[in-house]
């Protein structure tokens, strides 16, 4: 270290050591470099610091790129399935998320309250599925990033407000989805289609059906909708049908729960594996352990369509609630 360095250099160096972020370190390093007299004896030192500076700048740049990529519309997946709540402004999407999960979204009587998506975990039988509240879909304001999120849904809960022209809302929202390559279907065949993006099973939730009078309106709406999509009346305010809604979500997702059991031990009834309807013993084995599926010979099953402890092969189709003991 050359000895003829001015006091400004040492001040900047001290701040450099104390710096908490790369951004601060860059500023200090620039000051240190500026304070070092330029002559042969300081060549090495200046070279080292210039390299350090360029590494720090690269790190900051790379971090910025990552941050931009991870937009607020990118929601981390959690649990076995994702349900995205979509709909026109003010229909009660956020109120619904707040009612059935621990999330605390902003709810207000004015439209366009929600500006960013918010996830929550919804208990459903003995599992939890991810529910995502979203900003409103409206022709007046199209948030393109929102469609990337909608494409990741295993089920779309299209919510309308019975008290405010529900058919118009339904048509506008499904029209916007179609123009962004999201087609709604009564039920996606299997979860393995997931990610192809375009055809997503949907459930129409008709909210604010608070009493009998609104129920009559709901019946009229349901008749107009026909059998295009499954539809049900709910009221977040009164709690009407929220449990039935969870069951409809389970159905709409096309999933089933399968419990594992080790020989000689009771079944592990608290933590089911979640599979797609139609999955077999081999699919289950792959979920339990990646290697297990290769060693699997037979399995014993307790549940639907079998007698207790029946031996079955790897192609046996499982049902919701089955208990499986794998034999390698």
Report in angstroms how near the CB of residue 128 gets to Mg ion at its nearest: 21
Q: CA 61, CA 59: separation in Å to the nearest integer?
A: 5
Q: Which of 175, 187, 196 lies closest to 229 in space, CA to CA? A: 187
Task: Report how many residues bind ligand GTP under the rule CB under 6 A.
Answer: 22
Mask of contacts with ligand GTP, 197-236, x by CB under 6 A?
----------xx-x------------------------xx
169 binds ligand GTP (CB under 6 A): no
Tell me the closest approach of the beta carbon of residue 180 to ligand GTP, in angstroms.
Answer: 17
Site for ligand GTP in 128-167 (CB under 6 A): 136
Q: For residues 53 and 32, give the distance between their C-alpha atoms in angstroms, rounded to a whole number.
A: 11
String marking each residue 72-111 x if it binds Mg ion according to CB under 5 A: ---------------------xx-----------------
Binding mask 286-305 for ligand GTP (x = CB under 6 A): --------------------
Residue 90 found at the interface with ligand GTP (CB under 6 A): yes
138/152 with CB nearer ligand GTP: 138
Can you give the length of the chain in residues?
A: 328
SS3 86: strand
- Measure the CA–CA gap between 192 and 124, rounded to whole angstroms: 21
Of all residues in the chain, what percent are helix, strand and coil, respectively (each to 5)?
Answer: 40, 20, 40
Of 13, 151, 130, 155, residue with least CA distance to 73: 151
Considering only residues 16, 75, 114, 284, which one is a binding residue for Mg ion as defined by CB under 5 A? 114
Counting contacts by CB under 6 A, is residue 113 touching ligand GTP? yes
Cα 308 to the center of its chain, rounded Å: 37
Site string for ligand GTP, 33-72 (x = CB under 6 A): ----------------------------------------
Return the closest-CA partner of residue 134 out of 152, 146, 123, 122.
146
Stretch near Mg ion under the rule CB under 5 A, chosen from 34-42, 112-120, 143-151, 165-173: 112-120
Q: Considering only 10-18, 46-54, 87-95, 278-286, which stretch makes contact with ligand GTP by CB under 6 A? A: 87-95
**Quick check: 109 binds ligand GTP (CB under 6 A)?**
yes
| CA distance readout (Å), 103 to 95, 122, 175 | 10, 10, 29
Which residues are bridge partners to 156 per DSSP? 84, 202
Kindly give the residue spans of alpha helices, DSSP state H, lying in 5-111.
7-18, 22-35, 43-69, 93-100
DSSP 136: P
Which DSSP symbol is given to 272? P
Which residues contact ligand GTP (rule: CB under 6 A)? 87, 89-95, 107-109, 111-114, 136, 207-208, 210, 235-237
């Amino acid at each position: 270290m050359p000895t003829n360095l001015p006091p400004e250099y040492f001040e900047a160096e001290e701040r450099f050591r104390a710096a908490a972020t790369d951004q601060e370190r860059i500023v200090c390093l620039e000051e240190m470099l500026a304070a070092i007299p330029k002559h042969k004896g300081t060549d090495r030192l200046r070279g080292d610091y210039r390299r350090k500076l360029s590494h720090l700048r690269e790190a900051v740049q790379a971090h910025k790129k990552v941050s931009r990529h991870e937009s607020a519309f990118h929601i981390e997946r959690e649990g076995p399935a994702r349900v995205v709540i979509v709909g026109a402004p003010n229909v009660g999407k956020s109120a619904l998320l707040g009612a059935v999960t621990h999330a605390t979204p902003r709810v207000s009587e004015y439209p366009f309250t929600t500006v960013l998506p918010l996830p929550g975990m919804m208990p459903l039988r003995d599992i939890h599925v991810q529910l995502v509240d979203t900003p409103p879909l409206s022709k007046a304001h199209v948030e393109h990033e929102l469609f990337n999120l909608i494409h990741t849904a295993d089920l779309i809960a299209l919510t309308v407000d019975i008290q405010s022209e529900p058919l118009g809302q339904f048509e506008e929202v499904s029209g916007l989805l179609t123009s962004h390559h999201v087609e709604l279907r009564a039920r996606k065949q299997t979860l393995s289609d997931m990610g192809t993006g375009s055809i997503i099973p949907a459930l129409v939730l008709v909210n604010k059906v608070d009493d009998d009078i609104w129920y009559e309106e709901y019946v009229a709406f349901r008749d107009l909708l026909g059998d295009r999509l499954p539809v049900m009346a709910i009221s977040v305010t009164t709690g009407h049908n929220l449990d039935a809604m969870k069951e409809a979500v389970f159905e709409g997702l096309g999933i089933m729960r399968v419990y594992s059991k080790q020989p000689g031990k009771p079944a592990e009834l608290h933590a089911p594996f979640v599979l797609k309807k139609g999955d077999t013993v081999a699919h289950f084995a792959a979920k339990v352990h990646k290697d297990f599926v290769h060693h699997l010979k037979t399995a014993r099953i307790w549940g639907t369509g079998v007698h207790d402890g029946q031996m079955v092969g790897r192609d046996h189709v499982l049902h919701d609630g089955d208990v499986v003991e794998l034999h390698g």
